[in-house]
Amino acid sequence: MAKKSFRQAVNEALSQEMARDPRVIVMGEDVAGGLGAPGEDDAWGGPLGVTKGLMKQFGRERVLDTPITESGFIGAAAGAALTGLRPVADLMFVDFMGVCFDQIFNQAAKFKYMFGGKARTPLVIRTMYGGGFRAASQHSQCLYPLFTHIPGLKVAIPSSPYEAKGLLIQAIRDDDPVIFFEHKMLYDIEEEVPDEPYTLPFGEANLTREGDDVTIVAFGRMVMLANEAADRLAGEGIACTVIDPRTTSPLDIETILEEVRATGRLVVVDEAHPRCNMATDISAQIAERAFEALRAPIRMVVPPHTPVPFSPALEDIYLPSVAKIVDAVRAVMAGGRKAA
Amino acid sequence: MAKKSFRQAVNEALSQEMARDPRVIVMGEDVAGGLGAPGEDDAWGGPLGVTKGLMKQFGRERVLDTPITESGFIGAAAGAALTGLRPVADLMFVDFMGVCFDQIFNQAAKFKYMFGGKARTPLVIRTMYGGGFRAASQHSQCLYPLFTHIPGLKVAIPSSPYEAKGLLIQAIRDDDPVIFFEHKMLYDIEEEVPDEPYTLPFGEANLTREGDDVTIVAFGRMVMLANEAADRLAGEGIACTVIDPRTTSPLDIETILEEVRATGRLVVVDEAHPRCNMATDISAQIAERAFEALRAPIRMVVPPHTPVPFSPALEDIYLPSVAKIVDAVRAVMAGGRKAA
Amino acid sequence: MQLNRDELLRAYRDMCLIRQFEERVHAEFATGDIPGFVHLYAGEEASAVGVCMDLTERDTIASTHRGHGHCIAKGCDVDGMMAEIYGRKSGLCGGKGGSMHIADLDRGMLGANGIVGGGAPLACGAALSAKTLKTGAVAVAFGGDGASNQGTTAEAMNLASVWRLPVIFVLEDNGYAESTASAWSVGGDPVKRAEGFGIPATRVDGHDFFAVHEAAREAVARARAGEGPSFLHLKLARYFGHFEGDGMTYRAPDEVARLRAEKDCLKLFRRKVSEAGLLEGAALDAIEGEVATLIEGAVRRAKADAMPEPADLLTDVYVSY
Amino acid sequence: MQLNRDELLRAYRDMCLIRQFEERVHAEFATGDIPGFVHLYAGEEASAVGVCMDLTERDTIASTHRGHGHCIAKGCDVDGMMAEIYGRKSGLCGGKGGSMHIADLDRGMLGANGIVGGGAPLACGAALSAKTLKTGAVAVAFGGDGASNQGTTAEAMNLASVWRLPVIFVLEDNGYAESTASAWSVGGDPVKRAEGFGIPATRVDGHDFFAVHEAAREAVARARAGEGPSFLHLKLARYFGHFEGDGMTYRAPDEVARLRAEKDCLKLFRRKVSEAGLLEGAALDAIEGEVATLIEGAVRRAKADAMPEPADLLTDVYVSY
Ligand SMILES: Cc1ncc(C[n+]2csc(CCOP(=O)(O)OP(=O)(O)O)c2C)c(N)n1
Ligand SMILES: Cc1ncc(C[n+]2csc(CCOP(=O)(O)OP(=O)(O)O)c2C)c(N)n1
Ligand SMILES: [Mg+2]
Ligand SMILES: [Mg+2]
């Protein structure tokens, strides 16, 4: 075991699964790069270098650069998944989903149901999401709530290098279409990641901190912030449980219910736009199913209802932060009813 | 005043606004119909005849049939809105949003913010939504939660002919992009609709029933079902307030808060897929802001997490129904705490 | 003409089967028994059958909202199709899909499609599977004149061109997209467009089974030889409305009657085979009779078959969840 | 050559302004002061300036992620642009947009665009406004070789064709989309594609301001005369990486140096005007000096200007809400 970056973890998962199963292919814009160009082949490995080296290892027949034509190649990935391959398609930034969403939500997601169960669509769509990169409104969105909304899709959001490798291998071996969200600010984060392949199950939450006072649920990069907040709060004598659900669809609501029943207090941290997002989804499910256990209002830590601004001065205050999570936890500790 | 169908109400709103303002244009596939064909001109007026007659009244320069090219013409509508027109674009079925979502959510919705406030984008996108038509998975979805999620968009969902006319005229006069949802099962519903133009404000909920026991929030066609449920429950001595928010973005959360504070009980009825939908959105906001007033868990009446099935035998049990709403209300009456 | 007697009989049988299937669905729809949107293929039979003639079960097709003909030509079970259209549990999709979503993956029929232009990228994917797994299979994307303007079609053509995929794009130009004439909606020339993407393209009389088959055969051969995609622009006609319920006022009053009289692909087939002395009228009549019995049985069974059960609502969303 | 002295001076000034703007942003980016993704236009100046030469403020352009050149050619304020790139409140978009979203509606600049292919439909809309409101205005959609494969581009071309919109599609083919060569990614021939949509199309040397201007002038005239869309395929080159930070290892080692030496649009312009005796070197040198001062001031001001205030986060989402 060695320290690996999130980028390396993703790359390793792809490489190991491609080695294991010849049906796994990778496709997307510049996933290798340099095609038709006079210089270096495999020049890019995606804009942030995540798939670099795969083409040299597996050749251009299994690492396919595409024209800029997301409906075309995401649809082709769906069609290929329906007919014997296990494609991992690269949607680069999830913000681009608007040019190809139909192939995802009306085609890949619905094949199995529309066709009466006969299809399987082992498709993975990897995509970058999230703010902090100063990439402005069209390259900073989260949008996983849109995919979570759609029956037939699975949605994974790894929060660390270890999670990324295990969840991506699971995604590739999974027989349903999976949208795999990689936060672009996590790529350089490092932690211990086993060298051998392993899977992390979908729909099983991970508890990254345990404490009796408040339950915090967070996704992707927000898990890091929630852990930091929990550490800081521990200093104030507030003990937090931090839940990383790993996947929003399926969602391990049972674990969240259980923890909320124990703490009676819930804060949900979601980097996505605030309306109809995962914070509302979890709050609502808990308010419906663990109402009696709640000792204080559920708090949602989310950005305001605005596009993601470009200027660092604005983006920094736009995003959920450790401070905002700490405040929310303090607020749920302050208010509310006694233990039942 | 005369009885008019929902279809007529929409048509009248369009016709009156086109007469009032020469910048209002209508565009979409077969919104007139018969273009280039040997038979009747204005042959269709859309697949369900909603825009029929407008072309004869205003000519092909203002009622523009388009090729099947939603990104192209919805994007053109956005560009036209940015440069002096007030287009009403017809997205036929909202299920088709996946081929043109980018032009809606990354372009039209974000112009104003990305451009530092200088743009205005008076664009209306009319679209059919909802189940009951036996139209199967790709022609029966609701999907308004996806649009509600996006900052910069407004989302209107009229629940009756009267609402349709007033909200559509408001949408056309509004200077922000509005997605206007028409439930295809409502077109033949009739009620009294004033002949003259009028607007209904966005972000102001309408109370269609008032009662002290339970608050029901419902959208679009579900308002009809909620009213029916309320009538039925009145016979059992349960008095319901039924709230039609009219628009999901902006959302009149204040009125819902006020009513929930009064009744202490909330049922939200949403025909959309259950995850990250309006039922979760409202539940979460109420659980955060009116927690102390709640006397029972909030109940959500929503379809299961599956695509919309084709077979009438399945679609009928898939959709929220009066019986399901009645059950939910009974359940929130049965459980819960005493009044504070 | 390179087809033997059996092949000719099969072609005629499939075209008849489509025609009678559609005429019957048209009649049954009028009774109110058939739910939903139904788009009929009658009149266009030479396309589906001519194109699919040289395909095997390994080969795949991606179809459209007007998919019954493609299904039949690709070998889907007619009872299963009819039951599906009636929303029965015995339907090819267990009643969950309906007319617009009939699929049979075992026959290489990747699905009708409710989204115009939705199928072309999927066909590229099937072709990519064939190429990557070296199965030698070919994929066909059917699409209408309306679909030819959809961005997905253009993207798929370019992708197929640069990836040299074994895929055939078949543009079924029936003159209309809903009520809008292709003469208006399709700017320029589809054949030139395809050539602009670097794809060999030809225009074919879509009423003529033999012309379609000839062009398709060449395209299939090109694909199997690893020479990449082809494009066929078929000019043909639909006999019924865009969907059942369409009054067709946008067409000339005698338009369909004239088409049926002068351009009908079944009549043309009969004339050609009899002029060439390949098949005698009696054999063709016999086929029509057999087909009628088949359709009668399919409708009878579909009507009698059970609806899906409530528990079916929740299955088939995921392989595992 | 139909341009007078003032016009020629303006053309050279705008091209210089773009070049120096980009060279300077390149240098400043390297210091780490400029946030986000920045795509530079250096090398392609003859396109933006040649195309926009005959446009007025009433006319509109839809730009791309590589938009600085289009902005300058369309008359955007250079201080406002630089401040925007630095994320300052004084920026053209109040710091909310950044390099990828600079717009100035008063100058008919409808916005850079972070979505490849996003601009073509918008330009059709602007052209529709012009046509409907009878303003006589023309709209231009700029797009790269990569964008030419995007479905939106094809849809917009067909829409413009059948609606006969006063729009000009300008394909800036700089040989690469990110690291992928257009020689690979663009199947067939863009000019033939455009013709396939029924749009008059020409290929032009995009390094040659005069050739670009000539072709654009014809296209503008056609649009103003109500004769519909045109398409220009410009072959040109970018000098910097796809975005700042791109190592450009996919290019030949001497590729850019050679392009700068042999194909540079500014050098070509100088040579042509001096060979024709239209402008003397001193006048051109003077322009370069003025421009340098302008850029220096823009950077100095941008660095000194204030960041947006916290309250700005929440404004400009809606006109009213
Ligand atoms: C993306 C999308 N847009 C619009 C529709 C509605 N629609 C269904 S069929 C059709 C016309 C299709 O025309 P064409 O491709 O020529 O096929 P044909 O019906 O003539 O067989 C339209 C507009 C749709 N289903 N999907
Ligand atoms: C829909 C979409 N897909 C992918 C990208 C990522 N991307 C940004 S620029 C670019 C290359 C564009 O190439 P081209 O159109 O040739 O323009 P150039 O950069 O050469 O000016 C890509 C792939 C994007 N921004 N939007
Ligand atoms: Mg057609
Ligand atoms: Mg390029």
The reply to whether A273 belongs to the active site is no
The end-to-end CA distance of chain A, in Å, is 46
Q: Which run of H or E residues covers position A2?
A: strand A2-5
Rounded Cα–Cα distance for residues D184 and D186 (Å): 6
The answer to the question of residue D162 being in a domain is: yes
Rounded Cα–Cα distance for residues C165 and C160 (Å): 5
pLDDT, tens only, B69-85? 999 999 999 999 999 99
Distance from CA of A335 to the nearest CA of B (A): 10
β-bridge pairing A299-301 and A190-193: unpaired
CA A95 to ligand 2 center in whole angstroms: 13
- The answer to whether D155 faces chain B, any CB pair under 8 Å, is yes
CA B29 to ligand 1 center in whole angstroms: 9
Residue with tokens 């699919």: C52
Task: Annotate chain B with three-state secondary structure.
Answer: CEEEEHHHHHHHHHHHHHHHCCCEEEEECCCCCCCCCCCCCCCCCCCCCCCCCHHHHHCCCCEEECCCCHHHHHHHHHHHHHCCCEEEEEEEEHHHHHHCHHHHHHHHCCHHHHCCCCCCCCCEEEEEECCCCCCCCCCCCCCHHHHHCCCCCEEECCCCHHHHHHHHHHHHHCCCCEEEEEECCCCCCEEEECCCCCCCCCCCCEEEECCCCEEEEECCHHHHHHHHHHHHHHCCCCCEEEEECCEEECCCHHHHHHHHHHHCCEEEECCCCCCCCHHHHHHHHHHHHCHHHCCCCCEEECCCCCCCCCCHHHHHHHCCCHHHHHHHHHHHHHCCCCCC
- The answer to whether C163 faces chain B, any CB pair under 8 Å, is no
Residues 6+ apart with CB under 8 A from C105: A82, A115, A118, A119
Neighbours of chain B (3+ CB pairs under 8 A): A, C, D
CA D113 to ligand 4 center in whole angstroms: 14
CA D242 to ligand 2 center in whole angstroms: 9
User: Six-digit token pair at D120?
Assistant: 């073509």
Q: Say how many CB pairs under 8 Å bridge A and B.
A: 172
β-bridge pairing A178-183 and A154-156: parallel
pLDDT band at residue B338 under the 50/70/90 scheme: low
Considering only CB atoms, B71 lies closest to which of D152, D316, D319, namely: D152
Whether A2-193 shares its CATH topology with A206-333 is answered yes
Distance from CA of C137 to the nearest CA of A (A): 11
> Which residues of C, range 169-198, sit inside 8 Å of A by Cβ?
none
The CATH number of the domain holding residue D99 is: 3.40.50.970
- pLDDT surpasses 70 at A336: no
pLDDT band at residue A140 under the 50/70/90 scheme: very high
Q: What is residue D87's three-state secondary structure?
A: coil
Specify the pLDDT at position A340. Answer: 43
Question: Where does A206-333 sit in CATH, by number?
Answer: 3.40.50.920
Specify the pLDDT at position D2. Answer: 82
The answer to the question of residue D243 being in a domain is: yes
User: Six-digit token pair at C196?
Assistant: 């602009």
Do residue B311 and residue C88 have CB atoms under 8 angstroms apart? yes
Do residue D162 and residue C151 have CB atoms under 8 angstroms apart? no
Distance from CA of C168 to the nearest CA of D (A): 16
Q: Which of D122, D178, D321 to mutate to test the interface with A (most CBs of A within 10 A)?
A: D178
> Does the Cβ of C116 fall within 6 Å of ligand 1?
yes
User: Six-digit token pair at B63?
Assistant: 């009622």
Range of the domain at C36: 5-305
Specify the pLDDT at position B336. Answer: 64
The answer to the question of residue D311 being in a domain is: no
Catalytic residue among A139, A149, A183, A305: A139
> Does the Cβ of C147 fall within 6 Å of ligand 1?
yes
Rounded Cα–Cα distance for residues B47 and B28 (Å): 11
Specify the pLDDT at position A338. Answer: 55
Specify the pLDDT at position B337. Answer: 63
Probe residue for ligand 1, chosen from C44, C45, C65 as the CB with the greatest number of ligand atoms within 8 Å: C65
pLDDT, tens only, A235-269? 999 999 999 999 999 999 999 999 999 999 999 99
Crossing angle of helices D265-275 and D209-224, rounded to 10°: 90
Cβ burial C67-78 (10 Å sphere, 16+ → b, else e): bbbbbbbbbbbb
Do residue C195 and residue D186 have CB atoms under 8 angstroms apart? no
Query: What is the pLDDT of chain B when averaged over all its residues?
Result: 97
Q: Is A141 in contact with D114 (CB distance < 8 Å)?
A: no
CA B248 to ligand 4 center in whole angstroms: 41
> Which residues of B, range 258-317, sit inside 8 Å of A by Cβ?
272-273, 275-289, 291-292, 294, 296-300, 305-307, 309-310
Distance from CA of B20 to the nearest CA of C (A): 29
Nearest to C110, CA basis, from C45, C74, C76, C63: C63
**Running along chain D, 321 residues long, what does each successive block of 10 average in pLDDT?**
91 98 98 96 98 97 98 98 98 98 98 98 98 98 98 98 98 98 98 98 98 98 98 98 97 98 98 96 97 98 98 98 96
The answer to the question of residue D320 being in a domain is: no
User: Six-digit token pair at A72?
Assistant: 């075309």
Considering only CB atoms, B149 lies closest to which of A106, A146, A150, namely: A146
One digit per residue, pLDDT tens: chain C, 321 residues? Answer: 589 999 999 999 999 999 999 999 999 999 999 999 999 999 999 999 999 999 999 999 999 999 999 999 999 999 999 999 999 999 999 999 999 999 999 999 999 999 999 999 999 999 999 999 999 999 999 999 999 999 999 999 999 999 999 999 999 999 999 999 999 999 999 999 999 999 999 999 999 999 999 999 999 999 999 999 999 999 999 999 999 999 999 999 999 999 999 999 999 999 999 999 999 999 999 999 999 999 999 999 999 999 999 999 999 999 999
Probe residue for ligand 1, chosen from C116, C239, C246 as the CB with the greatest number of ligand atoms within 8 Å: C116
Q: Based on the structure, what is the number of domains in chain C?
A: 1
* B2-193 placed in CATH 2.40.110.10: no
The answer to the question of residue D312 being in a domain is: no
Rounded Cα–Cα distance for residues C98 and B35 (Å): 30
Q: Looking at the whole model, is its pTM more than 0.95? A: yes
pLDDT, tens only, B270-296? 999 999 999 999 999 999 999 999 999
Rounded Cα–Cα distance for residues A163 and B275 (Å): 24
* Domain residue spans of chain A: 2-193, 206-333
